[in-house]
């Protein structure tokens, strides 16, 4: 019998996302693989989503991400309205075997509150689980609502009530990993890249200081708050400083950005991003937070670029020290490790990605979890 899954991607961005959009990208990667495996997918998203699915549910015509800049009392109805649409659909029809939900906090709370009338649900935790302590610390979804993490280390730090609902973790994937082991080598340059939002947790200030001290060229790729291009940030003026990531950039990163040793190039997308990463000596992750999933980490491996990182969050699960990257618990060692990363083999990185981080592998793993959830599984699966 065909399995029908309601995939709840939420109201914030269309699927696939127009630019930056981590969760929507995961959904866009997962859905085609699930359909290839025979799953019927009903996508709850916004009307403008173009991802091919079997059916679509939408409350909003297009992504509401822009509304997130508004005060809470003006924005708090957005995800509620979207979830109301999902609940209406679940009450009106009986063909949904399982809900796979990706909507932070509200998705989980609503599905748990729906009680036994609703189908079984799997809620994927894409974020830092230190957030929402009251919700996670008191969660009761019975045996109908289950959660999964995007790494074992992320789940291990979750509040106990949340962990009691977990059926395991599923590592992130990237389409770049498909046949990555068969791709030709790319000529390596001298440069090192930090790929990600400019943010204290991602540690661009530390990376930039070490670039000057250890003497390697560093490219910072990623947005500063809502600003994707250096000229847009420059034009934004002082008001932009209300955004904490803009303040972090101006106060702690910009002093090292000299346009030579350290460059900030804004958001780099598509082919340009892939070329920048594939030709890099290493991707650097000078993390100051427990990275929950690390899409940029698996992308780097798929493009044949070793990862140099602080050994925090999911990094030790994704990167094997000495083979696909170099990890350390000591921040100040990162500069030396960057210089040593040239000794690692790009082919090893690509082979690892082709083996572990393809969309097909991720979809297979989610199918296993769907089965566990439908059985009302009480025990978490063994780690993948």
> Which residues of this chain interact with ligand UDP, rule CB under 6 A?
20, 22, 195-197, 221-222, 267-269, 273, 293-296, 299
User: Residue 39 or 303: which CB sits closer to ligand UDP?
Assistant: 303
User: Residue 39 or 315: which CB sits closer to ligand UDP?
Assistant: 315
At its nearest, how many Å lie between ligand UDP and the CB of residue 21? 8
At its nearest, how many Å lie between ligand UDP and the CB of residue 171? 11
At its nearest, how many Å lie between ligand UDP and the CB of residue 143? 31
Cβ-based burial of 232 (10 A; exposed 0-12, middle 13-18, buried ≥19): middle
At its nearest, how many Å lie between ligand UDP and the CB of residue 126? 8
The Cα 338–Cα 93 span in angstroms is: 55
User: Residue 267 or 279: which CB sits closer to ligand UDP?
Assistant: 267
Cα distances from 111 to residues 23, 51, 98, 160, 252, in angstroms, run: 19, 24, 11, 19, 41
At its nearest, how many Å lie between ligand UDP and the CB of residue 293? 5
User: Residue 283 or 334: which CB sits closer to ligand UDP?
Assistant: 283
At its nearest, how many Å lie between ligand UDP and the CB of residue 226? 14
User: Residue 97 or 299: which CB sits closer to ligand UDP?
Assistant: 299
The Cα 284–Cα 205 span in angstroms is: 12
At its nearest, how many Å lie between ligand UDP and the CB of residue 301? 12
User: Residue 5 or 192: which CB sits closer to ligand UDP?
Assistant: 192
Task: Kindly compute the dihedral angle of the four CA atoms of residues 63, 68, 69, 72, in this order, to the nearest 10 degrees.
Answer: 140
User: Residue 243 or 267: which CB sits closer to ligand UDP?
Assistant: 267
User: Residue 97 or 104: which CB sits closer to ligand UDP?
Assistant: 104
User: Residue 90 or 309: which CB sits closer to ligand UDP?
Assistant: 309
At its nearest, how many Å lie between ligand UDP and the CB of residue 314? 9
At its nearest, how many Å lie between ligand UDP and the CB of residue 305? 12
Strands 4-8 and 98-101: parallel
């Amino acid at each position: 019998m065909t399995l029908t899954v309601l995939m709840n991607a939420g109201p914030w961005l269309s699927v696939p996302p127009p630019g930056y959009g981590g969760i929507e990208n995961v959904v866009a990667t997962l859905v085609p693989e699930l359909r290839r495996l025979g799953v019927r997918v009903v996508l709850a998203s916004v009307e403008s989503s173009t991802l091919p699915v079997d059916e679509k549910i939408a409350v909003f015509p297009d992504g509401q991400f822009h509304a997130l800049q508004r005060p809470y009392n003006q924005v708090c109805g957005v995800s509620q309205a979207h979830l109301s649409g999902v609940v209406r659909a679940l009450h009106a029809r009986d063909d949904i075997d399982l809900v796979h939900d990706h909507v932070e906090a509200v998705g989980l709370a609503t599905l748990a509150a729906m009680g036994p009338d609703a189908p079984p649900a799997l809620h994927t935790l894409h974020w830092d689980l230190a957030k929402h302590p009251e919700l996670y610390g008191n969660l009761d979804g019975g045996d109908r609502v289950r959660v999964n993490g995007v790494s074992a280390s992320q789940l291990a730090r979750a509040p106990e009530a949340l962990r009691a609902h977990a059926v395991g973790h599923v590592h992130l994937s990237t389409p770049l990993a498909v046949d990555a082991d068969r791709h030709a080598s790319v000529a390596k340059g001298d440069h090192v890249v930090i790929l990600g939002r400019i943010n204290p947790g991602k540690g661009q200030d530390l990376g930039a200081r070490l670039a000057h001290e250890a003497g390697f060229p560093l490219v910072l790729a990623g947005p500063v708050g809502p600003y994707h291009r250096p000229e847009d940030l420059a034009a934004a003026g002082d008001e932009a400083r209300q955004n904490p990531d803009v303040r972090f950039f101006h106060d702690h990163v910009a002093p090292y950005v000299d346009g030579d040793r350290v460059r900030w190039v804004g958001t780099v997308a598509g082919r340009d991003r892939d070329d920048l990463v594939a030709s890099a000596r290493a991707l650097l992750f000078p993390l100051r937070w427990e990275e929950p999933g690390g899409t940029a980490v698996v992308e780097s491996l798929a493009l044949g670029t070793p990862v140099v990182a602080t050994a925090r969050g999911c990094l030790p699960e994704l990167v094997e020290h000495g083979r696909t990257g170099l990890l350390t618990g000591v921040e100040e060692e990162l500069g030396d490790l960057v210089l040593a990363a040239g000794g690692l083999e790009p082919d090893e990185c690509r082979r690892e990605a082709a083996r572990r981080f393809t969309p097909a592998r991720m979809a297979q793993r989610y199918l296993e979890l769907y089965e566990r959830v439908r059985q009302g599984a009480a025990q978490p699966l063994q780690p993948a």
